[in-house]
């Protein structure tokens, strides 16, 4: 076998082995695209998730009013936290504890405070995100191998982006003169589509691949017990600040709405989207929300007895490294700017999925054709007749 034939065989083996990797990447892209709008899909399928207005001029209730409505409907319920989604068309979610030990998450109408239903422990939103993020592999001791397998795909995506820009000379011309030929066969069409979608998705591929690589680094750091966090020890209420009460008497705490106002005054521009209620006598009221930078949350820990702000976690408290790393997850999911930004991530996620599919189709067709051509190719010994040796005495006799 010639050196050229051996090289061709090795190239075909390489091509066949690369196909499962890109097929796996295609599944990741498709599930990630679905996960982007999974919450909206749940909203369409489940009426309990919707924030239905009783009247056109109805106003949203405050956190304190929602808490009172839940306690009136179910007096024995202990509310752990209340979360307000970023989109107004979603119902509030509240984690509660029942006397039987169960802790479900309830859907609460933000206009009436009525309990609309109970969130499943594993709904479509959680399923798509778990399938995309770690392939449903359980976390037993640290990050699962499914997390590593998925986040590892950020490396070939980033490498493909870089090599694609190198191979496609003067790629910026595609912005001004896009080419997509429909009438010259499937191979030409998919080739044009692959290049054109790649050009318009450069920023999106860079965001997804870089954040995917960060998820890999995050798992490696966590499993090796390496922390880059500058956050201090969680605060607790001092023992001498906890009031003494008689057995059976209720403890006097500040109102939840008052705690939200105190947090807003302490952190200018804070839009409270999460309120955590004290779980014991030494716990604070936690108020979380976004400010001018929508990718990260700020929070304040409010003393439930005297209203003092015992601790805050602001944007300025993060290190430069934390400021970058804490922005990775919302950049990857697109869940920081409302419905319209989610739709942008969905469209480009769909485009990325089609680009991987088109590349897989082009690659597989070339590989199949090259393999078939190599299989039909006859050995050189079979194609060329071997010369018949002539004896020297036969030649001498013929001349004589």
103 close to 97: Cβ distance less than 8 angstroms:
yes
Which of 59, 325, 320, 296 lies closest to 211, judged by CA?
A: 325
Residues 255 and 315 in one domain: yes
- Annotate 172-209 with b (16+ C-beta within 10 A) or e (fewer): eebeeeeeeeeeeeeeeebbbbbbbbbbebeebbebbb
As given in the structure block, the two tokens for residue 386 are 């071997």
Q: How far is Cα 208 from Cα 48, in angstroms, rounded to an integer?
A: 32
Residues 29 and 141 in one domain: yes
Cα angle: 229, vertex 230, 232; to 5 degrees: 110
276 close to 329: Cβ distance less than 8 angstroms:
no
Q: Number of helices (H) and strands (E), helices first, in the chain?
A: 15, 8
Residues 313 and 184 in one domain: no
Q: How far is Cα 350 from Cα 348, in angstroms, rounded to an integer?
A: 5
Q: Look up the domain containing 76 and give its range.
A: 42-122+235-338
Residues 327 and 257 in one domain: yes
Q: How far is Cα 240 from Cα 52, in angstroms, rounded to an integer?
A: 45
Its sign, for the CA torsion 323, 94, 130, 125, is negative
Residues 86 and 205 in one domain: no
Residues 62 and 102 in one domain: yes
Q: What is the DSSP string of 310-330?
A: EEEE-GGGS-HHHHHHTTHHH
Residues 348 and 239 in one domain: no
pLDDT, one tens digit for every residue, the chain (400 residues): 555 566 666 655 655 666 778 889 899 999 999 999 999 999 999 999 999 999 988 999 999 999 999 999 999 999 999 999 989 999 999 999 999 999 999 999 999 999 999 999 899 999 999 999 999 999 999 999 999 999 999 998 888 888 888 777 777 787 888 888 888 887 788 888 888 888 999 999 999 999 999 999 999 999 999 999 999 899 999 999 999 887 777 788 999 999 999 999 999 999 999 999 999 999 999 999 998 999 999 999 999 999 999 999 999 999 999 999 999 999 999 999 899 999 999 999 999 999 888 877 777 777 777 777 767 765 554 555 555 555 545 444 444 4
Q: How far is Cα 340 from Cα 361, in angstroms, rounded to an integer?
A: 31
Q: What is the DSSP string of 12-32?
A: HHHHHHHHHHHHHHHHHHHHH
Q: What is the DSSP string of 73-110?
A: H-TT-EEEEEE--SSTTBPEEEEEE-TTS---EEEE-T
Query: What pLDDT sits at residue 399?
Result: 47
Predicted structure pTM score: 0.84
Residues 206 and 240 in one domain: no
State phi, psi for 212 to the nearest 5 degrees.
Answer: -65, -40
Residues 106 and 146 in one domain: no
Which of 307, 223, 212 lies closest to 263, judged by CA?
A: 307
Its sign, for the CA torsion 170, 173, 178, 184, is negative
Q: How far is Cα 283 from Cα 223, in angstroms, rounded to an integer?
A: 29
Residues 262 and 289 in one domain: yes
In DSSP terms, which residues pair with 285 in a beta bridge? 302
Other beta carbons within 10 angstroms of residue 63's beta carbon come to: 22
Q: How many domains does the chain have?
A: 3
303 close to 310: Cβ distance less than 8 angstroms:
yes
Query: What pLDDT sits at residue 222?
Result: 96
Q: Quick check: helix, strand or coil at residue 6?
A: helix
Looking up tokens 């995100």 gives 129
Which residues are within 8 A (CB) of 249 and not within 5 positions of it... i.e. 6 or more apart?
none
Other beta carbons within 10 angstroms of residue 109's beta carbon come to: 22
Environment class of 44 (CB within 10 Å of its CB; exposed 0-12, middle 13-18, buried 19+): exposed
Residues 318 and 272 in one domain: yes
Residues 146 and 219 in one domain: yes
Laid out side by side, the sheet with 297-302 consists of: 115-118, 105-108, 92-97, 78-83, 271-276, 285-290, 297-302, 309-313
Q: Quick check: helix, strand or coil at residue 68?
A: helix
Query: What pLDDT sits at residue 400?
Result: 45
């Amino acid at each position: 076998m010639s050196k050229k034939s051996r090289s061709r065989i090795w190239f075909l083996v390489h091509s066949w082995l690369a196909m499962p990797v890109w097929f796996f990447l295609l599944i990741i892209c498709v599930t990630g695209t679905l996960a982007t709008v999974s919450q909206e899909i749940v909203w369409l399928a489940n009426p309990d998730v919707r924030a239905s207005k009783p009247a056109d001029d109805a106003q949203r209730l405050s956190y304190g009013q929602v808490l009172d409505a839940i306690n009136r409907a179910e007096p024995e319920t202990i509310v752990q936290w209340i979360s307000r989604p970023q989109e107004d068309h979603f119902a509030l979610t509240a984690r509660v504890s029942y006397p039987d030990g169960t802790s479900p998450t309830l859907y609460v109408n933000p206009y009436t405070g009525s309990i609309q239903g109970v969130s499943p422990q594993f709904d479509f939103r959680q399923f798509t995100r778990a399938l995309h993020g770690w392939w449903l592999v359980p976390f037993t001791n640290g990050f699962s191998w499914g997390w590593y397998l998925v986040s590892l795909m950020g490396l070939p995506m980033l490498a493909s982006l870089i090599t694609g820009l190198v191979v496609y000379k003067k790629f910026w011309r595609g912005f001004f003169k896009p080419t997509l030929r429909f009438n010259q066969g499937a191979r030409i069409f998919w080739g044009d589509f692959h290049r054109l979608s790649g050009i318009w998705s450069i920023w999106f591929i860079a965001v997804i691949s870089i954040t995917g690589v960060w998820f890999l680094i995050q798992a490696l750091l966590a499993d090796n017990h390496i922390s880059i966090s500058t956050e201090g020890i969680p605060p607790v209420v001092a023992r001498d600040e906890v009031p003494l009460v008689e057995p059976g008497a209720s403890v006097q705490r500040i109102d939840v709405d008052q705690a939200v106002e105190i947090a807003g005054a302490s952190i200018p521009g804070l839009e409270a989207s999460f309120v955590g209620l004290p779980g014991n006598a030494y716990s604070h009221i936690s108020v979380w929300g976004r400010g001018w930078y929508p990718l990260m949350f700020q929070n304040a820990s409010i003393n439930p007895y005297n209203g003092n702000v015992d601790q805050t976690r602001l944007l300025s408290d993060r290190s430069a490294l934390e400021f970058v790393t804490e922005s990775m997850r919302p950049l990857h999911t697109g869940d920081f700017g409302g419905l319209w930004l989610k739709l942008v991530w969905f469209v480009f996620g769909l485009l990325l999925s089609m680009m991987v599919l088109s590349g897989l189709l082009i690659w597989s067709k070339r590989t199949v054709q090259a393999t078939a051509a190599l299989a039909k190719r006859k050995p050189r010994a079979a194609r060329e007749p071997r010369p018949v040796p002539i004896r020297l005495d036969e030649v001498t006799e013929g001349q004589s």
